[in-house]
Structure 1
Amino acid sequence: MNVKAVPIEEGTAKRFWIKFRNEALFAMYTPFVVCLASGKLELETFRNYIAQDVHFLRAFAQAYQLAEDCADDDDDKAAISKLRKNVMEALKMHKSFVQEWGFDPAPETSATSATLKYTDFLLATASGKVEAVKGHGTIATPFEKTKVAAYTLSAMTPCMRLYAFLSKELRALLDPDEGSHLYKKWIDTYSSQTFEASARETEELLDKLSVSLTSEELEVMEKLYRKAIKLEIEFLTAQPIIQRTIVPLIRVLDPADYRLILFSDFDLTCTLVDSSAILAEIAILTAPKADQSGTENPLPRMSSTDMRNTWSVLSTQYTEEYEQCIESIMPTKKVQEFNYEGLSKALEQLSDFEKRANARVIESGVLKGLNLEDIKKAGGRFILQDGCSGFFQTIVKNEGLGADVHILSYCWCDDLIRSAFSSGGLNVLNIHANQLAYEESISTGEIIKKVESPLDKVKVFKETLKNHGNDSKQLSVYIGDAVGDLLCLLEADVGILVGSSHSLRILGSEFGVSFVPLFSGLVKKQKEFNDSSCNWKGLSGILYTVSSWAEIHAFILGH
């Protein structure tokens, strides 16, 4: 019977990599990788890394041998044997490889604790001592041993994919006109088609070995895969850096001289859904039916049908007029240099539009009759962006970081934001947003206006910084996703753009704003690093783009 091969795009290895790719980003933002990418990594640090790499290669070779012994299929044995031979060839080439940097390959360096954590874990797994298996017992029976090969590949595959991923990211930053990058050979080796082929062969073998496993055994594989990534990140983080680095930001800043003031937008920066949609849902679900409208209610409400129709009209009108407003504030001619004053002037029109839109919402009465408890319950069920909550929790729980966190939002209801952040000790965050007016916990439909527009946001931003005083220097970071965040993003020392807002990028570009992927921006800054405590400055016209909160976490806090 012929079994159709599972494409790599649908295989176990690919699923695992996609699931844990955000964790892999932490490896990219380690001081070691950023310095390596810049070409400015001290040779002594690289020498130590290369020496530890020998221990990794030996452990890989030994693990492959153990996995081959456990495999019960001749094709599997042959595939594992081939991968082992690749490692042995890499070990033979190691001596000539390190001579590129003038190292003496003769002395044997002991494995560091970070190296041993991974190699011990790998060899224990390959020996049948699989810690992810219930009971942590040793796999001993012939039938159980056939699974060891799959478990072993689960602990090896992520390292191969991680290095292929990192090297390609680094290779993309190499200047083709720059032939002096000190570590170009290392980058070329790991970004080569040969290494990519080895990574794919390992993944394909992992897929094949996992086909006959149970869901519980696949869970064991997933745990091993994730632990391997974590141990590899710990290994890269532990590399002894003897130079000043640009990352992680919180460790670069001297608390005696600098205080980190962190700002973030809320809707679609922290959340997956806009807060107005949540308030609309509450309003519609709790509105009375047509024949109950206004019955025994001190604050009469429209029926659920009328409520739904009104929200639909308001939403459509807002979207259409917003697009027209953005189009109308575009300059007739694209500016060649960053023009903050021109952008600020243009956003005055958007501010007027946002205020008119809010006035329509109040006048419509759709916010009338909302129960504060319903709002808090809905906020508690808010789904935040992956990694967002964990990032803020790390800051809040670590008082030694000396960071202040402020949420700046157009949201009509600050209580909704507070309840969304209520878990994990995040109730201490400073919230700057509008408020609903209440009579005995029932909303009157009025909005107490505090932050309605881009101009309001940047005003609160500046006032907040001013209120922190001048006892120490401040470094401000603003995280946002939309046009309304533009002025704050640009005023901040570090402006980080989450997502890919088309209107923000178009409008910003027209006024000379540059959008730079955060990692490449950090590598460039590392090249230029002059050993000063801080070389970030607002109003540079540069915004840094990220794909996820994992990048923000890795950059600011590290692993």
Structure 2
Amino acid sequence: MRRLFPPNPIKTPTLFNSLRLRFNSLRSHCANSMALPPPKSAMASAVVDIEVGLARRFWIKFNRESIFAMYTPFSLCLASGNLKIETFRNYVAQDVHFLKAFAHAYELAEDCADDDDAKPVISELRKAVRQELKMHDSFVKGWGLQGAKEASINSAAVKYTDFLLATASGKVEGVKGPGKLATPFERTKVAAYTLGAMTPCMRLYAFLGKEFKALLDPNEGSHPYLKWIDHYSSESFQASAVQNEELLDKLSVSLTGEELDIIEKLYHQAMKLEIEFFSAQPLVQPTVVPLIKKHNPAEDRLVIFSDFDLTCTIVDSSAILAEIAIVTAPKSDKKSDQHQPEDQIARMSSADLRNTWGLLSRQYTEEYEQCIESIVPTEKAVFDYEKLHKALEKLSDFERKANNRVTKSGVLKGLNLEDIKRAGERLILQDGCINFFQKIVKSENLNTNVHVLSYCWCGDLIRSAFSSGGLPELDVHANEFTFKESISTGDIVKKVESPINKVQSFKEILKNCSNDRKNLTVYIGDSVGDLLCLLEADIGIVIGSSSSLRRVATQFGVSFVPLFAGLVKKQKECTDGRSSNWKGLTGILYTVNSWAEIHAFILGC
């Protein structure tokens, strides 16, 4: 059952209070229509505290782009220290053009700004860029890159510099050029637009500098690009990035909603152009990203496995099904109703259902914690897959017993299949999840199989969720409701109830793959139930931060490594002449905070 109200109190603080708001207008028991949760586009990641400044809100909203920039082959090679000097020389040459464009844009923004406080700040930022251009000469000499300054600008750099200078000149849709603006206030808008096109670049470089700095290994000697990393991670550059953001916030205070929308579009466009710039850097060396780079459809098969609940979804499916059962149940006990058809499936009242779910929830939570406590070694062990497998057999027995309690209780009786499908269509998924699977499935250059392995009680809910996202072709391996004329009987066809069931399904799927190609397996999951599959896969990726997963796995000798840090290590092995091939059962799992990281790693931009 796994997630009949997961034992993590953060995710289910009370029985179903968070879901009550989404389902408070569900159809009455006899009606055929139902009010449903918000559409999938209303992702949790898009909800940002309105008290946060404009620039910060944009950075959070477009975090996906910063991840994609960090996971480009160029960025990874630079972070690992094995970037070829020829590639770095080309990059430095483009940087000169960027800095000159920035200096000119600041100059134009300063001319447009009429705020007595804003002008000196812009002037200070412009001087900082001029100073950086002077420092550039020393960088060139220090890296032995003489000649880099004279190199011609590439097309990706041209796109950004042209975009920036056009914006600073007022050439934005619906905005006149500075020379034709009638009032100082209209000129001030152009200054805000210009900062909107510059701020994301500054913040992105500050972000990359800090990320790369945190990965430096003091035991590996001097990093060849330490000066670059030190510069962009320095307090002074971080302060400049903050100064840009604060200035953008200040210049935007009096703008209308429509004008703020223009700034948001400029910000987003600048982020996309930065990704394009990093992606365009010519590399003449092997890289470990994207994963599909070496994929040959005639010889290779990429097999993607994914959990569903809280890996793909925001809310656990058992809670969704329970809430549908409660709000569509009769208000009072109808067992004594003489007019009730004999063949109609008897249902508990909504009040009885709520009480029963509450009892099941509390019992599951208490016994789950006890079970976890009983299987975790008191001392951390060396990784031993067989011992872990044996321990999780006990958890599997617990999950089966919990599922039996649910079916015997009758709480799943009477659910309408159409209601379940409609709930699946409106199920809120993790930001980027659907986009990743769409690109995987629809790519003509990949030979891939995608399988969803889930404890979910009702596979129809999962299929509906993915079908509404344009993915009817995903293979779903889950439990299934039994129906009588589209009404659930309360029984479950139990196929995937436990960690042992999951790993058995995982192995069976691979066994049934033809032997005409080499399989590369990736498993994406978030809980203890996924642990064996995560370890069996060539690449196991953990999304989220399940405390029980961390506790069990760590005590059994499993290591958790942030994905980007693991890729940096893999990239270093490419230089050392060692193989960068992936293989399972190493005891190492890779952690990510979002589907953007998974997408960037496997597929690239």
TM-score norm. by structure 2 comes to 0.88
2:581 maps to 1:538: no
Question: 1:396 is matched with which residue?
Answer: 441
Q: Hey, what does 1:305 align to over in structure 2?
A: 351
Where 2:519 maps in the other structure, the secondary structure is: strand
1:224 to 266, 269, 278: 266
SS in 2 for 1:69: helix
Separation (CA, whole Å) in 2 of partners of 1:58 and 1:241: 25
Residue of structure 1 aligned with 2:597, choices 542, 545, 551: 551
Computed over aligned residues only, the root mean square deviation of the Cα atoms, in angstroms, reads 1.7
| In 1, Cα distance between equivalents of 2:456 and 2:148 | 64
Equivalent residues in 2 for 1:5-404, closer than 5 Å: 10-105=52-147, 108-131=150-173, 133=174, 138=177, 140-143=180-183, 144-293=186-335, 295-296=340-341, 298-335=344-381, 337-404=382-449
CA contact (8 A) 1:252 1:534 kept: no
Secondary structure of the 1:428 match is coil
Which stretches in structure 2 are left out of the alignment for 5+ residues? 1-48
Q: Secondary structure of the residue that 1:300 maps to in structure 2?
A: coil
Question: What SS does the corresponding residue of 2:219 show, helix, strand or coil?
Answer: coil
Are the counterparts in 2 of residues 252 and 533 from structure 1 also a CA contact under 8 Å?
no
Give, in angstroms, the shift of residue 233 of structure 1: 0.9
- In structure 1, what residue type is equivalent to 2:451? H
Contact 1:8 1:203 in 2 (8 A): no
Could you say if the C-alpha distance between residues 292 and 9 of structure 1 is closer, same or farther in structure 2, counting changes exceeding 3 Å? closer
Once the two structures are overlaid, the 10-residue window that deviates more, 250-259 or 493-502, is 250-259
Structure-2 separation of matches of 1:423 and 1:187: 44
Q: Give the partner amino acid of 2:182.
A: P
Please state whether the residue corresponding to 1:177 is helix, strand or coil.
Answer: helix
Q: CA deviation at 1:200?
A: 1.3
Deviation at 1:201, TM superposition (A): 1.2
Q: How far apart are residue 38 of structure 1 and its match?
A: 0.6
Q: Which moved more, 1:295-304 or 1:146-155?
A: 295-304
| Deviations 1:492-530, CA, capped at 9 Å, x for gaps | 000000010001101001110000000000000000126
Contact 1:248–1:558 under 8 Å retained in 2: yes
Deviates more, 1:387-396 or 1:376-385: 387-396
- 1:94 Cα deviation after fit: 1.1
Residue 502 in structure 1 maps to residue 547 in structure 2: yes
| Number of aligned residue pairs | 549
Q: Decide whether aligned partners of structure 1 residues 9 and 376 sit closer, same or farther in structure 2, where only a CA change above 3 A counts.
A: closer
416-425 vs 345-354, greater mean Cα deviation: 416-425
Report runs of 4+ in structure 1 exceeding 4 Å deviation. 136-139, 530-534
Q: Residues 453 and 344 from structure 1, CA distance in 2 versus in 1: closer, same or farther, beyond 3 angstroms?
A: same
Q: What is the CA distance between 1:100 and its match in structure 2?
A: 1.6
Q: What is the Cα deviation at residue 17 of structure 1?
A: 1.2
Amino acid at match of 1:440: E
Report the Cα distance in structure 1 between the residues aligned to 2:227 and 2:573, rounded to whole angstroms: 22
| Counterpart residue identity of residue 109, structure 2 | A
- Distance change (3 Å), C-alpha of 1:352 and 1:38: same
Q: Is the Cα–Cα contact under 8 Å of residues 435 and 448 in structure 1 kept in the other structure?
A: yes
| Residue pair 2:159, 2:273 contacting (<8 A) in 1 also | yes
- 2:222 and 2:102 map into 1 onto residues whose CA distance is 32
Q: Whole-Å Cα distance in 1 between the matches of residues 231 and 124 of structure 2?
A: 19
CA shift, 1:9, in A, is: 7.9
C-alpha distance after superposition, 1:289-328 (max 9, x if no partner): 2153463362111111111111111111111111110000
Q: 1:512 is matched by which residue type in structure 2?
A: G
Take 1:489 and 1:398, find their aligned partners in 2: how far apart are those partners?
A: 25
**Which has a greater percent of helix?**
1
**Do the aligned residues in 1 keep the contact of 2:570 with 2:580 (CA within 8 Å)?**
no
Counterpart residue identity of residue 193, structure 1 = E
Percent of counterpart pairs with the same letter?
A: 70
What is the Cα deviation at residue 534 of structure 1? 5.4
| Paired AA for residue 343 in structure 1 | L
Following the alignment from structure 1 to structure 2, what is the Cα–Cα distance between the partners of residues 80 and 98? 27
Deviations 1:263-312 (A, max 9, x none): 00000000011100010011111111215346336211111111111111
Alpha-carbon distance between aligned partners in 2 of 1:96 and 1:397, rounded to the nearest angstrom:
48
Contact 2:140 2:148 in 1 (8 A): no
The structural deviation recorded for 1:138 is 4.7
SS for the counterpart of 2:488 is strand
Q: Could you say what secondary structure the match of 1:468 adopts?
A: coil
